[in-house]
Amino acid sequence: MSLKPRLLVTRFEPHASLLTSQLNSIGCFAIAQPLLTVNSMSDSSMVSSITSGDFDIIIAISGNAVKFANQQMSDDWPDATYVAVGQSTRKQLMDVTGQPVLCPESRFDSEGVLALDALKQINSKRILIICGKGGRDLLEMKLAERGAIVDLFQVYKRIKIDLNGHELVNNWQQGAINGVIISSIEILSQLFTLVPSKDVKWLLGLTLYVPSQRVANHAYKLGAQHVVLLPSLKTEEVTEFFNLGNGHSV
């Protein structure tokens, strides 16, 4: 008989606290502990270029990308073809631009975006990717290979939160944590950096719940033994996932 999940939620705030509250409301024990935070970055020249309508296609990588870009755009978004990597990001981008937004139907990552018909014939098109500093460069590289002129609008940077790994792991073990919700490779890497060497064996025995096969593969490379794919990172869908008792390794 499998153990009932007792979860550590490592997402950015406010997502960690919101998801934790929802999980606890269905009787699934969860603790919120963000490992990274984000700070905004500004680029007035890029904002001027966007508002002038210089780009044919504008792609948002994440909800944070939309949030921090819109703070600089002040809702002054131009007509363009808009693309979002995930469904929640799509909704945010639609809200701020007031325009239709394309999104992959199932695979919510760079590969899913690259499969969209709108990004197949893009020779000489000007494309803007709204993202965080230091993120994955696959999308930029592949779009350039297809003949597009690609620019980045880096609107935030990830910052490690100063945490006491020994104290936190002790608290997690006392709380009988047996699973961790991880939303990115950056957060996964920070978790493995934070946990003291004497507790790595304990960490490797936890079930890691991740949003994509790419993150799952990275977890296995780090030595994780049990990895489960989440259907989505939306709070309501993650809550439903655990409410239905899912949790099979991939």
**Confidence band (pLDDT; 50, 70, 90) for 247?**
low
Q: Which residue has the higher pLDDT, 214 or 117?
A: 117
Residue 22 near residue 235 (C-beta atoms within 8 A): yes
Q: Last residue of a domain, which of 126, 141, 158?
A: 158
Classify residue 148: in a domain, yes or no: yes
Provide the pLDDT for residue 250: 47
The DSSP secondary-structure symbol of 176 reads T
Answer whether residue 2 shows pLDDT above 80. Answer: no
Are the beta carbons of 182 and 188 closer than 8 angstroms? yes
Domain count, the chain: 2
**pLDDT tens across 89-100, in order?**
999 999 999 999
* Judgement on whether residues 144 and 190 belong to the same structural domain of the protein: no
Q: Reply yes or no on whether the pLDDT at 79 is more than 70.
A: yes
In a shared domain, residues 227 and 204: yes
Q: Which of 131, 158, 185 is the last residue of a domain?
A: 158
C-alpha–C-alpha distance, residues 91 and 154, integer Å: 20
Q: Which of 93, 249, 228 is nearest to 102 (CA)?
A: 93
In terms of Cα–Cα distance, which of 233, 185, 177, 231 is closest to 206?
177
Residue 25 covered by a domain = yes
Q: Is residue 136's pLDDT more than 80?
A: no
Residue 131, pLDDT above cutoff 80: yes
**Residues 167 and 143 placed together within one structural domain of the fold:** no
Residue 1, pLDDT > 60, answer no
Q: For residue 248, is it within any domain? A: no
Residue 233 reports pLDDT greater than 90: no
Asked whether residue 189 is assigned to any structural domain, the reply reads: yes
Confidence class for position 201, pLDDT limits 50, 70, 90:
very high
224-245: average pLDDT: 89
Whether residue 147 is found in the same domain as residue 168: no
Mean pLDDT of the region 170-182: 97
Largest CA distance in the chain: 60
CATH number, residue 56: 3.40.50.10090
Whole-structure pTM value: 0.83
pLDDT in tens, 8-40: 999 999 999 999 999 999 999 999 999 999 999
Q: What is the DSSP string of 22-62?
A: HHHHTT--EEE---EEEEE---HHHHHHHHTT--SEEEE-S
- Whether 85 is covered by a domain: the verdict is yes
For the cut 80, the answer to whether the pLDDT of residue 86 exceeds it is: yes
Would you say residue 136 lies in a domain? yes
- Rounded to whole angstroms, the Cα distance separating 223 from 67 reads 35
**Which distant-in-sequence residues (6+ apart) come within 8 Å of 207 by Cβ?**
5, 178, 179, 180, 226, 227, 228, 247, 249
27 vs 194: CA distance, rounded Å:
28
Are 68 and 112 in the same domain? yes
The answer to whether residues 113 and 51 belong to one domain is: yes
Q: What is the predicted pLDDT for the residue at 249? A: 47
| Nearest in space to 243 (alpha carbons), one of 3, 59, 2, 4 | 4
Does one domain contain both 48 and 105?
yes
Same domain for 113 and 208? no
Radius of gyration of the chain (CA): 19
Q: Would you say residue 249 lies in a domain?
A: no
**Does residue 192 have a pLDDT over 90?**
yes
**Residue range(s) defining the domain that contains residue 69:** 38-158
Rounded-to-integer distance, Cα 120 and Cα 123, Å: 9
Are residues 106 and 20 part of one domain? no
Could you give the CA distance from residue 84 to residue 72 in angstroms, rounded to a whole number? Answer: 18
Higher pLDDT, 66 or 248: 66
Indicate the residue among 97, 132, 158 that finishes a domain. 158
Query: Is the same domain home to 64 and 137?
Result: yes
Residue 124 per-residue DSSP state: T
22, 116, 154, 168, 178 from 174: Cα distances, Å: 22, 46, 40, 10, 11
Let me know whether 79 and 104 are in one domain. yes
Tell me the pLDDT band of 225, cut-offs 50, 70 and 90: very high
Mean pLDDT of the chain: 93
Residue 1 is assigned to a structural domain of this protein: no
Residues 115 and 11 in one domain: no
